[in-house]
């Protein structure tokens, strides 16, 4: 909490900080299941920790170990992770004028640009609290995510079959939970259904990883084929 006499700006930054911390704790716990699933998919402890520290973007990390665990091609695992990671680049573009970073802070800020830090930052009412929200959420998630990945990787070796703990279902539920808030209109919903159906058809025919890329291609094609208007793009 801010020590200053309760001005509204101080309240806003304190609120941003609280929101950032709660988001960091929640996603950090989810890191336990990443650590355990990564080890179960055949990654070493070092590879698992490296992904959380350097790749540091949950959707891509789960996509990568999903393909590896299913025995898919390395190239498909890389492509899936990279395509999912492209949205962080978009967040970076949106956050540029908010953060106005220079020098080493710009590099650090880029690495901490993920779903959670972008969402917390862009939800705040003013420039100062947006910056506080970004740094607290980014750094907080990084710390919790990595600590919990390490815990999960250790636990994963001890817990045996991850299926008995439902960890494969946890990953499916997590992807649905990441998708859900994006389903804000009819067009996005129809795109998700169409992409899901394509993945379903391709699944028995292609090596693991490709069904996901095919689904992404469907989404991209729908998005690019829309008619652009002054207010947005219509199908």
CB 226 → other proteins: shortest distance, Å?
6
Cβ-proximal residues to 61 (8 Å cutoff; 6+ apart), any chain: 34, 38, 51, 52, 55, 81
Contact call for residue 110 and other proteins (CB under 8 A): yes
What is the full DSSP assignment across 142-204?
HHHHHHHHHHHHHHHHHH--GGGGTHHHHHHHHHHHHHGGG--SHHHHHHHHHHHHHHHHHTT
Q: What x/- string results for residues 205 through 234 when contact with other proteins is judged by CB under 8 A?
A: ---x--xxxxxxxxxx-xxx-x-x---xx-
Min. distance of Cβ 6 from other proteins in angstroms?
A: 28
Residue closer to other proteins by CB (options 4, 106) is 106
* Segment interacting with other proteins, rule: CB under 8 A, options 3-11, 119-127, 139-147, 162-170: 162-170
Task: Examine residue 157 and tell whether it contacts other proteins (CB under 8 A).
Answer: no
Backbone φ and ψ for 233, nearest 5 degrees, come out as: -110, 130
Query: Do residues 58 and 145 lie in contact, with contact meaning Cβ atoms separated by under 8 Å?
Result: yes
Q: What span, in angstroms and rounded, lies between the C-alpha atoms of 57 and 75?
A: 18
- Interface mask toward other proteins for 27-46; x: CB under 8 A: x-xx--x--------xxx--
CB atoms within 10 A of CB 117: 27
Number of residues that bind other proteins (CB under 8 A): 100
Q: Which of 107, 125, 143, 157 binds other proteins (CB under 8 A)?
A: 107
Q: What are phi and psi of 227, to 5 degrees?
A: -85, 125
Which residue in this structure is represented by tokens 């058809």? Answer: 201
DSSP 3-state of 231: coil
For the bound state, the minimum distance from the C-beta of residue 164 to other proteins, rounded and expressed in Å, comes to 6
Per this entry, what is the length of the chain? 235
3-state secondary structure of 203: coil
Q: Which of residues 115-154 bind other proteins (CB under 8 A)?
A: none
Question: What binding mask, one character per residue, do residues 49-68 give for other proteins by CB under 8 A, x or -?
Answer: -xx--xxxx-xx-xxx-x-x
- Name which position in 19, 113, 129, 146 contacts other proteins (CB under 8 A): 113
Over the window 80 to 99, marking each residue x when it contacts other proteins by CB under 8 A and - when it does not, the resulting string is xxxxxxxxxxxxxx-xxx--
- Decide if residue 155 touches other proteins (CB under 8 A): no
């Amino acid at each position: 909490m801010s020590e200053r006499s309760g001005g509204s700006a101080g309240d806003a930054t304190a609120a941003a900080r609280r929101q950032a911390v709660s988001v960091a704790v929640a996603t950090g716990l989810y890191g336990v299941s990443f650590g355990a699933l990564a080890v179960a998919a055949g990654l070493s402890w070092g590879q698992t920790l490296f992904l959380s520290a350097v790749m540091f973007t949950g959707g891509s990390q789960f996509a990568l170990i999903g393909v590896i665990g299913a025995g898919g091609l390395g190239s498909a695992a890389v492509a899936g992770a990279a395509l999912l990671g492209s949205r962080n680049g978009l967040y970076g573009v949106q956050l540029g004028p908010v953060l106005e970073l220079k020098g080493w802070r710009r590099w650090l800020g880029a690495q901490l640009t993920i779903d959670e830090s972008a969402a917390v930052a862009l939800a705040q009412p003013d420039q100062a609290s947006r910056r506080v929200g970004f740094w607290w959420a980014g750094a907080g998630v990084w710390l919790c995510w990595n600590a919990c990945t390490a815990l999960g990787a250790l636990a994963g070796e001890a817990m045996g079959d991850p299926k008995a703990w439902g960890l494969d279902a946890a990953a499916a539920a997590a992807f649905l939970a990441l998708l859900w808030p994006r389903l804000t209109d009819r067009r996005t919903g129809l795109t998700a259904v169409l992409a899901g159906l394509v993945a379903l058809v391709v699944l028995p025919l292609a090596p693991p990883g490709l069904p996901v890329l095919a689904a992404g291609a469907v989404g991209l094609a729908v998005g690019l084929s829309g008619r652009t208007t002054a207010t947005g793009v219509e199908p």
